[in-house]
Copies of this chain bind each other. A is one copy, B any other.
């Protein structure tokens, strides 16, 4: 089995994925997509930046839209358990030879910026401004009724290496795809917060962000979003779905924002808090791996992703190919 044992005593305690900053080229177009269509709530905005949160979140934001000339991902951010974890993280990354830096982020306390084994920017913080609950202000619910950010999915040129690195950070594998021929990993799902994943890795040119997922109440909200998008000018932004994933068993839809950043709408995976949860193995050639109902993903889904601003990518060293829609 190509999956390392879970690391139950990581060097510092990452609580969960927290938020991501997207570089976008047209702030008004992005606002129309994320606020008017998806239904995320604006918590602050000016000419350069829009801060957004989902309906059950009390932290100030889960998504930051930054006006830029070129689309890109500025960083993936994680919340740690308590302030002292930040110092442990600082020392660990430094000892590993990764650049570390204390940065200022609005609405956040002390924040550490570093990067993963591929150079993808990671940020860690312990405290963010807390806002009043809005999960029972039902007049504000709109679009797909997004409840919370759920996970990141990244392209990695070598998924075995990614899993090894993130295992050291304490992420635990819940499901994975193996290439039968080489015995190597083709994809892997890893969590901290007790769901199927906080982050997943997919074989491909990387590091790149494949998608960011938001949790919604039920599959019917995803159907509502499809109806809305397809009758408000966004039919070409629907890339894949709806469907049930084989992996994770979740109900999904993939859509593209105006800059091509991919968003997954996601619900109904399962609880994974047990440290002795056995990872579920899938074969790359299993047609029900991607979609339980058998529909293959389109080529774009395997090829397109968002680069991290200023970070070089390299091609995958694993040639194995999944099932792709004709």
What is the interface of chain A, defined by CB distance below 8 A to chain B? 8, 15-16, 56, 58-59, 79, 81-82, 127, 130, 133, 135-139, 141, 147-148, 193-194, 217-220, 223-224, 226-232, 235-236, 238, 242, 244, 246, 249, 251, 268, 270-271, 273-278, 280, 287-288, 292-294, 325-326
Using CB atoms, name the residue of chain B closest to A56.
Answer: B270
Other A-B pairs, 4, CB within 8 Å; known A56-B271, A58-B277: A16-B273, A136-B246, A194-B273, A219-B219
Q: Is A139 within 8 A of B276, CB to CB?
A: no
Copies in the complex: 4
Q: Is B235 within 8 A of A288, CB to CB?
A: yes
Chain B residues within 8 Å of A271, by CB: 56, 148, 193
> How many Å lie between the Cα of A231 and that of B133 in the bound state?
13
Using CB atoms, name the residue of chain B closest to A231.
Answer: B138
Using CB atoms, name the residue of chain B closest to A15.
Answer: B273
CB distance from A252 to the nearest CB of B (A): 12
Q: Please, could you name 23 A-B residue pairs with CB atoms under 8 Å apart, sorted by A? A: A15-B275, A16-B274, A56-B271, A58-B277, A58-B278, A59-B274, A82-B275, A130-B276, A130-B278, A135-B249, A136-B292, A138-B224, A138-B228, A139-B228, A218-B218, A218-B220, A219-B220, A223-B251, A226-B292, A227-B244, A231-B292, A242-B242, A325-B326
> How many Å lie between the Cα of A259 and that of B242 in the bound state?
28
> How many Å lie between the Cα of A233 and that of B191 in the bound state?
31
CB distance from A80 to the nearest CB of B (A): 10
Chain B residues within 8 Å of A242, by CB: 242
Give the one of A8, A56, A288, A293 with max B CB within 10 A. A293
A193-B273 in contact given A223-B244, A230-B292, A293-B226 (Cβ < 8 Å): yes
